[in-house]
Amino acid sequence: MQRRQFIQNASLTALGIATFGGIKAVTRSAASGNALRVNGKRIESRIFELAKFGMDANGHGTRVAFTQADIEGRAWFIALMKKAGLNPTIDTAGNIIGKRKGKNNALKPIAFGSHIDMVPDGGNYDGTLGSIGALEVIEILNEQNIMTEHPLELIIFSNEEGGTIGSKAMVGDITKEGLQQRSQSGLTMGEGIRAIGGNPDDIQSCIRKKGDIHAWLELHIEQGGILEKENIQIGVVEGIVGIVHWEIIVEGFSNHAGATQMNMRQDALLAASKLVIAVNEVINSVKGTQVGTVGKISVLPGAYNVIPGKVQMGLEIRDLSADKIDMLFKEIERRAALIAKASKTNIRFERQANESKPALTDKKLQQTINATAKSLGFSTKFMQSGAGHDTQHMSSIAPAAMIFIPSVGGISHSPKEFSKAIDMENGANVLMQTILFIDKSN
């Protein structure tokens, strides 16, 4: 037996998964015997290499989607994919797709990846970890000469930070108006997609339907501080929160701040202030991880000597359950009615059109990730993602899941964003073992 063949057989046997009937059957032993591990040093050095694309003289990252830096970063990544034998192509939405054949190419592919664009002055780990981690899995399978049953696909989505454009397009959610929208680069989305090798005129060609992909996995930094604070190595993402915005208009009566008695006032700002506190109380009144914020406010007319006549505020609620968001909002509305009555003001809410629906990840995949991480000796926590990700769209066409690793200080979308090399390595190992388990178990 060739040495390579031996390693392949040994590692597959060690996986001990051929005998498992389904994902539910995953146990501690599923991956613990498998010695296959990613190369953590290679992951970290590639993170630093990619960070150089679009880094300005002060060390700040500017690799915004559709800019020259994005184009160069993508070219660097595509070259690595070519070297890894993935024959990368660019779909009409500008997504980079690399394919690796399986033993049975009639099976639907297991897909994984993330994005490599960043927000202006962003960090070097958001998206890039999931992209480089995904490539690392391919490298290890190549080095160990392991062929999976399912074909594999590495996907790098275009313009994630500008509105998850590539993944939205892939699930058929991009409209003509959406392509006209101006992106951070200055180009419209359509022009930007063209600049990176896509074809906005034929955007539908990139659409993948329900059932086209066996499973989708995304490794990502947490971008919050929970894992680090609780000293947990791997986050199993239960879903990506929905976000709803309301404009709140409080109308009172502007009058002389000196000549109007205190009991004669219809002070819009006073009513609005009570409402801000009520929002906080309502959000905190029930168990769960929901968040609610009044994040903007303007006061009219805005003078020392005038009682505020009108206040406009912005309310945002996020949660994994759309019903819970609605329930919380109804209670806020009820409190607002009481405040309005007591303060002789009028309070209106206008729900904004740009809401994003909560997206749940696949329960079976969550269990697989959790069991795989545990079998590798890692502590885990089931958690939600407060930030948006390409996975929220992919979950509408395929069983989808996300693996989180700690962000130091919970800082993201900032040059201070940082994740430790060991955490990145752990996350990529969980990604790899999860892929191998899914491949064998159904």
In the bound state, the residue with its beta carbon closest to Zn ion is 127
CB of residue 97 to Zn ion, shortest distance in Å? 18
CB of residue 126 to Zn ion, shortest distance in Å? 4
What are the backbone angles phi and psi of residue 214, rounded to the nearest 5°? Answer: -65, -45
CB of residue 223 to Zn ion, shortest distance in Å? 7
Q: How far apart are CA 426 and CA 419, in angstroms?
A: 11
Instruction: Name the residue with tokens 């690796």.
Output: 100
Judging by DSSP bridges, how do beta strands 234-240 and 400-405 pair with one another? antiparallel
Q: Measured from the CB atom, is 128 or 380 closer to Zn ion?
A: 128
Answer yes or no: are the C-beta atoms of 313 and 250 closer than 8 Å.
yes
CB of residue 96 to Zn ion, shortest distance in Å? 15
Q: Does 126 bind Zn ion (CB under 5 A)?
A: yes
Supply the Cα-derived Rg of the chain in whole angstroms.
25
- Between the alpha carbon of residue 189 and those of residues 197, 200, 209, 257, the distances in Å are 13, 8, 22, 50
Q: Does 200 bind Zn ion (CB under 5 A)?
A: no
Determine how many CB atoms are found less than 10 A away from the CB of residue 49: 14
Among 9-17, 126-134, 350-358, 375-383, the segment contacting Zn ion (CB under 5 A) = 126-134
Among 46-54, 74-82, 120-128, 151-159, the segment contacting Zn ion (CB under 5 A) = 120-128
Q: Measured from the CB atom, is 127 or 242 closer to Zn ion?
A: 127
Pick from 127, 200, 292, 399: which binds Zn ion (CB under 5 A)? 127
CB of residue 349 to Zn ion, shortest distance in Å? 31
Q: Measured from the CB atom, is 127 or 252 closer to Zn ion?
A: 127
- Provide DSSP, 105-120: TTSPPEEEEEE----T
Q: Which of 133, 129, 43, 6 is nearest to 434 (CA)?
A: 133
Answer yes or no: are the C-beta atoms of 208 and 354 closer than 8 Å.
no
Q: Measured from the CB atom, is 26 or 401 closer to Zn ion?
A: 401
Looking at residue 266, its amino acid is: Q
CB of residue 165 to Zn ion, shortest distance in Å? 13
Of how many residues is the chain composed? 442
Count residues near Zn ion (CB under 5 A).
Answer: 2
Structure tokens at 74: 């993508």
Q: Measured from the CB atom, is 225 or 314 closer to Zn ion?
A: 225
Q: Measured from the CB atom, is 96 or 269 closer to Zn ion?
A: 96
Interface ranges with Zn ion (CB under 5 A): 126-127
